Amino acid sequence: MDSKELLYDHYKETFSLIQSSVKQRNRLFVGLFFVIAVHFLLAVSPESIPAIIISIVQNQYKVDISNHMSIIQSFLWALLLYLSMSYYQSTVYIERQYHYIYSLETDIAGLANIKFDREGTNYLSNYPKMNDFIDFLYKWLFPLAYAILICYKIVTEYNTSFSLLSSLFNGAVFCACLILDILYLSFLHGRPKASKGK
């Protein structure tokens, strides 16, 4: 096997890994969005939403969780942290792999003396404005809205919480989520522009 075939096989394998990572990232985004929505509902209506949750659980499962809402909220914070870590790691991995695959395309094109730029120059040429807007939503609006929402949620929680232990735990998780979000924004916007997200 010559170097061109070896490089092309590596390119195909890398592209396949990216595609499976994109599917995983999309599923994580849906889960993250759902958990953020629940946090938002709990923040805007800290009394009625827990009452609805308690009522649903009692009617469906005949279990009284009225004294455990602080535990449930802590669980939601932990779930938010887990999904945030997974989503941001997945997105960063994809972004880095796209940079890598562009360099592979350049190497293959040079070795084979052909035009080979499906994911690089060809993809970015005549990039649709709609995709620019979607890129903005994912890379600016979502992380900023996420930061604002979790800040709002932790403030409302401290104003209504009666459990010191859960407040400390939730505050620590909030700090971790906020740091992750800032580092994610820093990664996306603090490096040279070489690609648009997919």
Over the stretch 33-78, which tens digit does the pLDDT of each residue have?
A: 999 999 999 888 877 777 787 788 778 877 776 677 788 889 999 9
How many Å apart are CA 46 and CA 170, to the nearest integer? 15
pTM of the model: 0.83
Of 141, 146, 145, 154, nearest to 42 by C-alpha is 154
